[in-house]
Amino acid sequence: MEPNIAYIGNLLGDTARSKMLTALMSGKALTATELSLEADITPQTASSHLMKLVEGELLIVRKQGRHKYFQLKSAEVAELIEQMLNLSALVSPSRISTGPKNERLRKARICYDHLAGELGVKLFDALLDNGWLIENNTELALTTSGQAFFSKIGVDFSVFKISRRPICKACLDWSERRSHLAGSLGEWVLNDVLNSKWANQDLDSRVIQFTPEGLKAFTNKYGI
């Protein structure tokens, strides 16, 4: 059977479903009730939409007790949504301002499981400038010195080899229109930031809020 682009396009093309998918870009698992509020529809209508997204393999559902939680199925789905956000901004009436109007969201936010926004782009640039990553057109690779650097700060590359996911990948940033770091390494960096208590994620948005001390530690660590 050939791939059916129209089927995926139909799933993404509904306004309510697109709002719920965008809300799940925070990386959090949300209930049908929570997602119905994001989409401004009833919980019953949300449940119907969510089942279609699960059947279309864009979402997974996790059960805990009597509750059901929905998440994006994979990093590939998240990347598709981020690309759709970029494309929709390009064809919108205003072509000057890109990305969200919320300054905090533009500064630093979660893109599924990695850091995005201004700080995400600055991190990406610093890794290139320090010679830890090398970019060739759209291909991104970790250098020998980059592997040595990340090994020194705690990355276990043997864990990455188990996954089929790329170690590092360039992801076009919605607001900055330049690349930020995705892939297994991008996920590790975000987890390290949060585990180090340098920043916290807002409870109700994709915003990552750095403390003054955390921002200083982050920029020093990666030579930003």
One DSSP character per residue, 94-145 reads: --SS-S-S-HHHHHSEEETTEEESHHHHHHHHHHHHTTSEEEETTEEEE-HH
pLDDT of residue 105: 87
- Amino acid 145 reads S
Whether the pLDDT of residue 83 is over 90: the answer is no
Instruction: Please provide the average confidence, as pLDDT, over all residues in the chain.
Output: 88
Does pTM surpass 0.75? no
Whether the pLDDT of residue 172 is over 50: the answer is yes
Mean pLDDT of 85-104: 65
pLDDT of residue 96: 47
pLDDT of residue 101: 67
CA 185/CA 168 separation, integer angstroms: 6
Whether the pLDDT of residue 89 is over 70: the answer is no
Whether the pLDDT of residue 82 is over 70: the answer is yes
pLDDT of residue 66: 80
Mean pLDDT of 90-104: 62
Q: Which residues are paired to 64 by β-bridges?
A: 67
